[in-house]
Structure 1
């Protein structure tokens, strides 16, 4: 299978049995608003697939159409090789967490799973216990769901989706409300589902560093249109990085530099790169300055440093470059690609 296309939104992809989900010209309109616009791409069987886009790009709308919660205006989607429109029976082998989990607030976490299992005909008491352990809720299983934190509610919603060992998981922002350690635990669990059980996972997330580390393949949409379908590694090789790392002479100088840079136009401080292990290091995204211009400005401000060098490209850089391209009047948010 060929990846790495910088394609028009309706460009064809090979339809084959390897795609457990296939969107074909999927469109959703609300009056004059086009929320999803002729979306066409496939989710390969056995992949951990990232579905990316800014808020309002159409991700949740697409997933809701897939799960039968809203109807497409036009186009089709195939699920397990069959037309999925109106086929609720096909979704018996799909577990989903879309937006917020629906819970019985007055019941315990365990009771919520037991009721969901009975309503859907999925799972048994043994699997419920195993899931509670796997998602880190075993010690809180007897507490009322109404007393759960947001992160605990997300964990319980994920357990609901995994009941009955479905072949496909459709997850919309599954780590919302979780601390970094909890997020790592969930991503480890998801990778195990793919590698050990052959589950296919379609996951929407705004946490780009998580997708970068966890997903094999991504589709990126902007204003309801597909702008890129590629492996993560290809995306990060796609063009020169506008991200640079500066090693200052000491942590105090680095702190003053962060304050200064946060006020400069055309430079964006990468706060995700701040670590206690490297207190004198600052990483920035250069939107409208060259590295040489940035170097000169640091020198004028008296901010002494040892060196400036290109930093590794991340998915966050890719999205920033998309945004910058659009702000310069580009036809879409897709940055230019090498031939």
Structure 2
């Protein structure tokens, strides 16, 4: 569970998040929508512990980010463009990332690469991947360690129609497994199909909240 209370973030004289509150539960997909610069990505980075709030609190599974924990350890994320080593293959990239925590096996990495529609045996360097292939690999990186929370910033960007449908199904299966998923997207169709609740942002404020179903 993620609990956000009276969260504000300023950079100098600019307020990018203004008094935002919300509670996010497992087994649901939440959509963050709004124009570029409306605060969606900054809020995700604060949940991850990458940016400290000016005021207010964020709790992930009952622990306050920046106080009781620096960076929550049960979150998978895509924030902005996924960054990979261009001269390495998909498997090599994910293997290097997995070595940081040592939580998963090579078998799990290979299964996850297959799950997102890529070939774990391919020697093709990620630097030669299309944007859509990089997005698939970004989703694989986010889910490979089976985190309970996913924060995904434009996760379906650059995918063709078939790829979008395949990755939507991957995310819906993650939800069915009880994951808490937050997606920021400019695609109305993705938001409408995937999300149980929608938060609309403008100038750092939540200006609308819609519960589906």
Same fold (TM over 0.5): yes
Q: What residue is the counterpart of 2:79 in the other structure?
A: 98
Q: What residue is the counterpart of 1:214 in the other structure?
A: 194
Q: Is the counterpart of residue 227 in structure 1 residue 207 in structure 2?
A: yes
Q: Is the counterpart of residue 69 in structure 1 residue 81 in structure 2?
A: no
Q: Is the counterpart of residue 88 in structure 1 residue 75 in structure 2?
A: no
Q: Once superposed, what is the RMSD of the aligned Cα atoms?
A: 1.4
Cα deviations across residues 144-183 of structure 1 (Å, max 9, x unaligned)? 1111111111111111111210000110000111112111
Alignment partners' CA distance in 2, 1:231 and 1:133: 33
Q: Shift of residue 120 of structure 1? A: 2.6
Q: What does residue range 1-339 of structure 1 map to in structure 2 within 5 Å?
A: 20-86=1-67, 87-88=69-70, 91-138=72-119, 141-195=122-176, 197-232=177-212
Cα deviations across residues 29-87 of structure 1 (Å, max 9, x unaligned)? 11111111011111122111111111111000110111111111111111012212251
Moved more, 119-128 or 177-186: 119-128
Unmatched 5+ residue regions in structure 2? none
User: Which entry has the higher C-alpha Rg, 1 or 2?
Assistant: 1
Alignment partners' CA distance in 1, 2:174 and 2:189: 20
> Contact (CA 8 Å) 1:123, 1:164: kept in 2 or not?
yes
With the length of structure 1 as denominator, give the TM-score of the two structures: 0.60
Alignment partners' CA distance in 2, 1:142 and 1:192: 28
Q: Shift of residue 230 of structure 1? A: 2.1
> Contact (CA 8 Å) 2:10, 2:54: kept in 1 or not?
yes
Alignment partners' CA distance in 2, 1:94 and 1:88: 13
Classify the secondary structure of the residue corresponding to 1:112: helix
Classify the secondary structure of the residue corresponding to 1:100: coil
More strand by proportion, 1 or 2? 2
Alignment partners' CA distance in 2, 1:192 and 1:83: 29
Classify the secondary structure of the residue corresponding to 1:210: helix
Runs of 4+ in structure 1 displaced over 6 angstroms?
Answer: none
Alignment partners' CA distance in 1, 2:122 and 2:45: 29
